[in-house]
Amino acid sequence: MSDFMLPDIGEGIVECEVVEWRVNEGDEIAEDQPVVEVMTDKALVEITAPEAGRVTRLYVAKGDIAKVHAPLFAYEATGEVEFETPPRPAAREEDEVASPAAEAPPPALSTAPSAAHAGAASVAAKDFILPDIGEGIVECEVVEWRVSEGEEIAEDQPLVDVMTDKALVEITAPEAGTVTKLHVTKGDIAKVHAPLYAYVPAHAEPGEARPDVSQSSPTAPQEAQNRVSQNRVAPVASGGRGPYGRIPASPAVRRLVREHGLDLEAVAGSGKDGRVLKEDVLRFLEQGSQQQGSRQQGEDPAAGAASPAPQAETASSAQPSRRDAGEVRVEPIRGVRAVMARRMVESASTVPHFHYGEEIDVTELLALRERLKPVAEAQQVRLTLMPFFMKALALAVREEPILNARLNPEVSEIHYLPEVNVGMAVDSKAGLIVPNVKRVEQRSVLEVAQEIQRLTAAAREGRVAQEDLKGGTISISNIGAFGGTYAAPIINVPELAIVAIGKSQWLPRFDERGEVVKRAIMTVTWAGDHRVIDGGTIARFCNAWRGYLESPETMLLHLG
């Protein structure tokens, strides 16, 4: 028996209401047969059967709420061997019973007799269900498997690295045993509350035999393997419709089609009965991009050869073609980059930005840092200017606390936060992430420097903890580290302000006697949420911050 997990049915949708069941428990179902209608907060969605079989249990009653990536109904696939598996009302982190993801073949039950217990009852492999790995995270990308099928594993042994939309997460083994199957391959997407891999525990129950993973069952595992092999080979498109008069496609594929504004009928399906697969949509999009590029270059997409317009004949004959003969490389936006894309669009489109620029003389600050560097190095701490920026920021918040506040979702209240958690934008290998140093107002400059060093090292390895990414109240983007002088930063919502720090330059300035002197000048550009922060507020805040940086010894007066 297999559980059908409710798949993603729309961006940001985590639950839906069951409007109407089209089948009852015990009914026979065919592949792509409409099974249930669910209502999201956007539309009515029809869920179809992933394969032929018989419905054994409806987990969610009509009118109740179904959760995405939780079991919706249970069924026995046609030809499936029945095992006594108790029904499970909901997917939980501690679940370890078999519960394959939607639109994937049922996991193979690895059963084989042990040499020492010939004829004893065989043991079914357990599925490890991917648990919640972060607030709001429903899927992740498998970056690297550290084990292979058939390998022995120990409890708490690191098995796989997965990339969420926030950080790289290491998944460890819940107990000792033997890996029998990897359900998700490297580079593919794993769903929370869906099987990630299968394993056989090291200890067997009394009277049970431990399976030999070197052998395989000739029935279900082989069928699953054949099904996977068929998915890897793109057969010739049949262009037909399913037995219910609709183009066969999974909800996830339909969502992909909607997101790109495509017509499902325009995409040639390469699956059974013309079923449109994800690969078909991606191939269609890639071909469309190539054809559009060809038209822009004056080419005939059908012929694939240069066909310049008559007006450009002379120019074309005089200049050699520079068209690259290579194929377009398609790289999906996933993980941290996907989140950054969504958040930047949200911030730029919903928050009215107000920018404010200033120059800060950091000559004295540079001199102070040089004097303190040996002290910090003695404690294995690298002292940069960033700890001073953060500490001065926390002190300036005392004078203008609205820079460290939040707006409620209804934009009817301002929530003044009790702590100053300063985020810093880090260009990690996974993309731009913003970990934050907690309670800067309570830490010394040296303690802030230690936290920055820890977070920077973790970010560059892509292993920042979820807690380090949550709770930021105000952010700093140090573009000067890359040689930049000016920038107009975008606010890291739900924060209300962010500052971009440019590089420090030695420039001529007039002193109090009117003489030209050499000073270290740094440019900064603030961005504030103009719904609650006006020009005067951000100017006063920046002046207070600049005062601490230009006369860093004044920060000593405020150390608790």
Any idea which residues carry the catalytic annotation?
A: 530, 534
Secondary structure (DSSP) of 412-430: --EEE-SS--EEE-EEETT
At 552, the amino acid letter reads P
Region of 114 on the Ramachandran plot (φ > 0 left; ψ -120 to 50 alpha; else beta) = beta
Strand 497-510 with 474-478, pairing: parallel
Residue 387 CA: distances (Å) to CA of 138, 393, 514, 550: 35, 10, 33, 15
Tell the residue number behind the tokens 């010939």, with chain if given.
118
Q: 522: closest CA among 538, 544, 505?
A: 505
Distances (CA, A) of 381 to 417, 455, 480: 29, 13, 21
Number of H helices, E strands in the chain: 10, 28
Nearest-angstrom CA–CA distance, 6 and 60: 11
| Pairwise CA distance, residues 447 & 465, whole Å | 19
The CA distances from residue 10 to 45, 94, 189, 533, 547, in Å, are: 10, 27, 16, 35, 50
Q: Which residues pair with 145 in a beta bridge?
A: 160
Q: Residue 292 and residue 451: Cα distance in Å, rounded?
A: 49
Helix (H, G, I), strand (E, B) or coil at 198: strand
Burial track 229-266 (b if 16+ CB lie within 10 A, e otherwise): eeeeeeeeeeeebbeeeebbbbbbbbbbbeeeeeebee
Q: Which residues contact 516 (CB under 8 A, 6 or more apart)?
A: 508, 509, 510
Q: What is the DSSP letter of 22?
A: S
Q: Which residues contact 547 (CB under 8 A, 6 or more apart)?
A: 554
d(CA 26, CA 28): 7
Tokens read off for 196? 């990630």
- With both helix axes pointing from N to C terminus, report the angle between 535-550 and 363-378 in degrees, rounded to the nearest 10: 60
Residue 285 belongs to what H/E stretch? Answer: helix 278-296
Cα distance between residue 558 and residue 395, in whole Å: 8
